[in-house]
Amino acid sequence: MPATQATKATPTILRRVTVMLYEALLLISVEMLAIAFYMLVTLNSQHPLAKEGMKAWLFLVTGAYFTWCWMNTGHTLAMKTWRIKVVKPGHHQLPFRTAALRFLLAWGWFLPALAACWAFGLHGKGQIAGACAAGIVAWAMTALFDKDRQFLHDRLAGTRLIALPKAARKVA
């Protein structure tokens, strides 16, 4: 990785969270296609095993989407739109293991809240949404305690998000 990438500015927390919201909208379309494919392959089976298989399939598709994007270009479509790139210092491209680890660690945004809902028997949509919101805020605050303002999953994975400069306008 060029030395200039390691010294680029970290995007603000608000900008990164905004990218995640945009990413969620784009991910819905990816997952809708994955669901359509799964339903076609399973002939829309309503068997409990098929329903659990759907969850595993969506997890794999989501993981493949993120790891492929991060490995090939360093960003997803939402990250590209907001000029943010994920890098690993000392590497030209994100290695597969690092991208996969970052994806798994990023579940820290939601998994603790979902585990708390399960542990305390919270089943209402409002209860789950409230727990997830609290978890998201708590995870976002991890960047406030990091010297480089990186989120916890980036720190643990050895990656960092950098802000890319605006493209120069071409004068006709």
| 101-150 pLDDT per residue, tens | 999 999 999 999 999 999 999 999 999 999 999 999 999 999 999 999 99
Residue 46, pLDDT > 60, answer yes
Would residue 145 count as lying in a domain?
Answer: yes
Per-residue pLDDT, averaged over 13-21, amounts to 93
Per cent of the chain over pLDDT 90 is 91
Would residue 16 count as lying in a domain?
Answer: yes
Domain with 137 in it: 3-163
pLDDT band (50, 70, 90) for residue 154: very high
Would residue 171 count as lying in a domain?
Answer: no
Residue 64, pLDDT > 80, answer yes
Would residue 31 count as lying in a domain?
Answer: yes
Q: What pLDDT sits at residue 3?
A: 45
| This prediction's pTM | 0.88
Would residue 115 count as lying in a domain?
Answer: yes
Would residue 169 count as lying in a domain?
Answer: no
Instruction: Indicate left, alpha or beta for 22 from its phi (over 0: left) and psi (-120 to 50: alpha).
Output: alpha
Query: In the chain, how many domains are there?
Result: 1
Burial (CB < 10 A; 0-12, 13-18, 19+), residue 66, is: buried
State how far the Cα of 33 lies from the Cα of 38, in Å rounded to an integer. 9
Burial (CB < 10 A; 0-12, 13-18, 19+), residue 113, is: buried
**Do 66 and 101 meet the contact criterion of CB atoms below 8 Å apart?**
no
Would residue 117 count as lying in a domain?
Answer: yes
State how far the Cα of 129 lies from the Cα of 6, in Å rounded to an integer. 36
Q: What pLDDT sits at residue 172?
A: 67
Q: What pLDDT sits at residue 1?
A: 45
Report which secondary-structure segment, H or E, holds 86: strand 84-87
Would residue 168 count as lying in a domain?
Answer: no
Largest CA distance in the chain: 62
